[in-house]
Amino acid sequence: MAELKPGDAIPELRVTPDKYLPHRYAGASGDFNPIHIDDEFAKAVGLPRNILHGLYSMGLVAKAATALADGDPRALKRLSVQFRGMGVPEQEIVVGGTVKSVEDGRVTIDTVATQGDTTLIKNAEAEVQL
C-alpha cells in the first residue's frame, strides 16, 4: 500500500446485508430485541421494517478501517462513532473515510457509513496501527 497522508481517501467498503443478517447478528450478540428480528413488530412500533443492529454498522466501520492493515483486527487501536440513522437489510451500506493524521505508523481515519440517503454512522474516528 502506498504511504498514507492526511486527506487521502480509504478504500470504500460496500456490503449488502441479506434479510437474515439481523437474525444471525441477534444470535451472535445476544440482542434479540424484536425491532431487529420481527418485521411485523417493527412496523407496529412505527418503523418501516425490521432494522439492523447499530453495532453491526459499527462493525462495518471497524472492518473498513482495518482493511488498511490487511484486515488484521488487532491493528484497530481505537474506535468511536456516532449512531445517526437506522439501517435495514437488503440495501447496500457504504463505508468510506478520509485519513485525518498519520503519526508513528498510526493512522487516524474519519469515517462515515451510509445506506442510500441515510447516514447510519458519522463523526466516526478509527486509529489503526500499520
Measuring CA to CA, which residue among 68, 102, 84, 88 is closest to residue 18?
A: 88
Query: Quick one: what percent of the chain has pLDDT higher than 90?
Result: 98
Decide if pLDDT at 61 tops 80: yes
Q: What nine digits make up the cell of 30?
A: 445476544
Q: Say how many CA atoms lie within 13 Å of 43 toward its Cβ.
A: 4
The domain that holds 26 is classified in CATH as 3.10.129.10
Measuring CA to CA, which residue among 86, 94, 129 is closest to residue 113?
A: 94
Decide if pLDDT at 2 tops 70: no
Whether 120 is in a domain gets the answer: yes
Instruction: List alpha helices for the chain, DSSP H.
Output: 21-29, 34-37, 39-44, 54-66
Supply the range of the domain harboring residue 100. Answer: 9-129
pLDDT at 17: 98
Whether 71 is in a domain gets the answer: yes
Whether 4 is in a domain gets the answer: no
Tell me what the pLDDT averaged over the chain comes to.
96
Q: How far apart are CA 43 and CA 47, in angstroms?
A: 5
